[in-house]
Amino acid sequence: MTKVEKVDFTIKKLQELYPVIPVPLKHKDPFTLLIAVLLSAQSTDVRVNQITPRLFSKADNPFDMVKLSVAEIREIIKPVGLSPMKSKGIHGLSKILIEKYQGQVPKEMKLLEELPSVGHKTASVVVSQAFGIPAFPVDTHIHRLLYRWGFSNGKNVVQTEKDAKRLFPKELWNDLHLQIIWYGREYSPARGWSLDKDIITKTIGRKTVLTAYHKNKRP
């Protein structure tokens, strides 16, 4: 297969598996999505989805969020980890949204990245999922799979994002980012990986990955 053929195969397989794409983090608007994505850093979507209903029942907008103290926010979000940093970030960004943006979440990546505790990946998720602006956020699943599939060298997420944007059509970025995440979780995990189940890697995976896999599978 040529690289173009591999890309086409990957797109078609992902569309076949995920014609309707579930959104991993529960939210109702750009603000609640921003908070949920911030909370998901070094945590799981499942755990975040368990915590956000309690947080959002108290404050689902910046105006109510700043009425909570940092300590109150921290107490609610403790189970997701990194609660000291995340609680300060949530309170701080809520204050800035009120002061600079009338309580609205900005659509521009640059402005989002200026908010406390909001990095490039978080901003990318928000613009893509909340506003439909093409972006290609790279999480651990996407980073792992683009290396396994031979689409990126796997050195860092910055390079992986550049490679993904270069290879895949811009109009598909928002769907593909979610489709690859779901595929990674269901068919190509970091642990307990079965090549027989992972049809994309089995079909187009880089030789070094496939060789290493088969070596480890030997009795």
121 is a catalytic site residue: yes
> Which residue is it, tokens 């269901």?
186
Task: Pinpoint the alpha helices (H) of the chain.
Answer: 3-17, 30-39, 45-58, 62-65, 70-77, 83-101, 109-113, 120-131, 140-148, 157-167, 173-186, 199-204, 207-217
Question: The tokens of 4 are what?
Answer: 């173009």
Distance, CA of 109 to CA of 125 (rounded, Å) = 10
Q: Which of 60, 121, 163, 198 is catalytic?
A: 121
Question: The tokens of 103 are what?
Answer: 């309580």
Q: Which of 26, 88, 107, 139 is catalytic?
A: 139
85: which residues sit within 8 A by CB, 6+ positions away? 117
- Point out the residues that are catalytic: 121, 139
